[in-house]
């Protein structure tokens, strides 16, 4: 399962990087769950359910921030879980301020689909850049 999970995670980021949103959504399970911190403080923070929820999450993120850098680095797999280390730099569209953070994504993968995508990053920097 670990090799399959890693291959699915690599495809997940390749599709996201290529802005292949329809194919990206197809890689997500129908009942996928996305969890991003800072619900109520960031437009894309909170829990997003299903493929429609993921599409709304991506739209909310796009409306809130311009992505200047999104580098996903090493991936570590155990069973159906893949942890991804990376770095993000964005510009808040509301204020024009840039901010950077390292992140960890925890992906849960089953049957070749992403079932859960949870993010951990410096939310204080993201919130401060919006004001």
> What is the average per-residue pLDDT within 27-47?
97
CA–CA separation, 93 vs 78, rounded Å?
Answer: 37
> What is the average per-residue pLDDT within 34-53?
97
CA–CA separation, 76 vs 66, rounded Å?
Answer: 28
> What is the average per-residue pLDDT within 98-123?
97
Backbone φ and ψ of 128, nearest 5°:
-60, -35
Backbone φ and ψ of 75, nearest 5°:
-120, 140
Backbone φ and ψ of 47, nearest 5°:
-110, 130
In percent, how much of the chain has pLDDT > 90? 97
Looking at residue 53, its pLDDT comes to 98
pLDDT over threshold 90, residue 3: no
Looking at residue 118, its pLDDT comes to 98
pLDDT over threshold 70, residue 28: yes
Looking at residue 131, its pLDDT comes to 86
DSSP string, 96-119: --EEEEEEEEEEEEETTEEEEEEE
pLDDT over threshold 80, residue 1: no
> What is the average per-residue pLDDT within 111-115?
97
CA–CA separation, 96 vs 21, rounded Å?
Answer: 26
C-alpha torsion 18→52→102→121, nearest 10: 170
> What is the average per-residue pLDDT within 44-53?
98
| CA 43 from centre of chain | 14
In percent, how much of the chain has pLDDT > 70? 99
């Amino acid at each position: 399962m670990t090799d399959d999970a890693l291959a699915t995670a690599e495809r997940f980021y390749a599709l996201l990087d290529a802005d292949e949103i329809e194919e990206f959504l197809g890689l997500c399970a129908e009942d996928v769950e996305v969890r991003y911190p800072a619900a109520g403080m960031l437009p894309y923070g909170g829990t997003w359910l299903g493929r429609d929820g993921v599409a709304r999450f991506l739209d909310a993120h796009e409306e809130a921030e311009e992505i200047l850098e999104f580098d996903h680095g090493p991936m570590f797999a155990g069973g159906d879980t893949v942890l991804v280390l990376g770095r993000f730099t964005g510009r808040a569209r509301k204020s024009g301020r840039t901010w950077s953070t390292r992140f960890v994504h925890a992906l849960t993968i089953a049957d070749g689909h992403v079932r859960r995508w949870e993010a951990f990053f410096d939310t204080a920097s993201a919130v401060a850049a919006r004001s």
